[in-house]
Amino acid sequence: MAPVPPPPTIGVFDSGFGGLTVLRALLPLQTYANYIYLGDTARLPYGSKSQETIARYAVSSAKFLHDQGAELLVIACNTATALALEDIQQSLSIPVIGVVEPGAQAASQAHKKDCHPERNETESKDLRFASTQKTLVLATPATVQSGAYTRALNALNLEAFEKACPLLVPLVEEGWIDHPVTDEVLRIYLTEALNQAPDATTLLLGCTHYPLIEPAIHRILADLNHPLAIIDSAQATAEAVVRNLALNHSGDHALATCVVNYAILQAKNSKPDAQNCTFYATDSIEKFQRLGSAFLGLPVTGVRHVDLGG
């Protein structure tokens, strides 16, 4: 009998709290793992900084997690992924996964299933569409300005329309998840976006804060009589992590896909906890524990403070 490999240590990094939705998606999918989460809360928001500053902050955070023992790193921040992923990959010798590419891949798979429901997954893998499919992306202004999702989606033969939604992050962090103000702001953003991209069939959540308001997005789209298939980039990223770990262990793409599908099925009956998680924050521990618990959906305790400089 082959020896059971030791549990992997996965590092998850964000400039703040949104990346906890990626960790929340990971916990039931990859229960056999240890997690280290870093929220660089002292230096947020990244979106208002220059690309050089963002890269410096992100690389220092990534190196910290590597020094703590991370064997795989998840950049659970759209801004850092869009503007610093290559810098981080060049600075570390471990696998680094961002949130943009998995989200784009999930949107592509959703289009293939909608357009060719009779095809199985293997048949659809190499399919190229005769006509371009359009994906609507909701994201922060910094992510939209980077054009990262447009490039990733265009590479998959998908047309993208990116909508900047600057008010959504502060509303989520205020805790207004199910609130009339949030609903009205969403209605305005979605109406504007759909007026400009009326033929969109898929909506990609391009910010890790947005999964918390996904029920409200569904509700507003129904009110607008314009349902869309919603892609959660946090969930897509978590599945990409499981696939990467399985592929590195087996070297078999088909087996890695089976592992991911099995993990998704098992997650439906899983009750994850945060006992195998270590949390770090570069600013207020109290605030991180309070807001972090809302984002993770589990109590966040024992947060450690770390000073990464300016």
Strand 202-205 to strand 158-164: parallel, antiparallel, or no bridges (unpaired)?
unpaired
Output the DSSP codes for 62-84.
HHHHHHTT-SEEEE--HHHHHHH
| Catalytic residue (one of 115, 165, 207, 258) | 207
Q: Do domains 10-99+271-305 and 102-234 have the same CATH topology?
A: yes
**Topology classification of domain 102-234:** Rossmann fold (3.40.50)
Sequence letter at residue 28: P
Tokens of 225: 């009589």
**Rounded CA gap, 96 and 89, in Å?**
6
Helix/strand/coil percentages in the chain, nearest 5: 50, 15, 35
| Catalytic residue (one of 77, 115, 258, 277) | 77
Task: Find how far residue 156's CA is from the centre of its chain.
Answer: 18
Is a pLDDT exceeding 60 seen at residue 238?
A: yes
The pLDDT, as a whole number, for residue 307 is 95
Kind plus residue range of the DSSP H or E element containing 160:
strand 158-164
77 given a catalytic annotation? yes
The pLDDT, as a whole number, for residue 128 is 39
* Contact assessment for residue 72 and residue 241, using Cβ atoms and an 8 Å cutoff: yes
207 given a catalytic annotation? yes
Is a pLDDT exceeding 70 seen at residue 126?
A: no
Confidence of residue 138 (pLDDT cuts 50, 70, 90): very high
Is a pLDDT exceeding 80 seen at residue 203?
A: yes
| Region of poorest pLDDT, from 73-82, 114-123, 192-201, 288-297 | 114-123
Domain boundaries, the chain: 10-99+271-305, 102-234
**Rounded CA gap, 263 and 31, in Å?**
9
- We find that the CATH architecture of domain 10-99+271-305 is 3-Layer(aba) Sandwich (3.40)
**Rounded CA gap, 115 and 230, in Å?**
16
Query: How many alpha carbons fall within 13 Å on the CB side of residue 288?
Result: 27
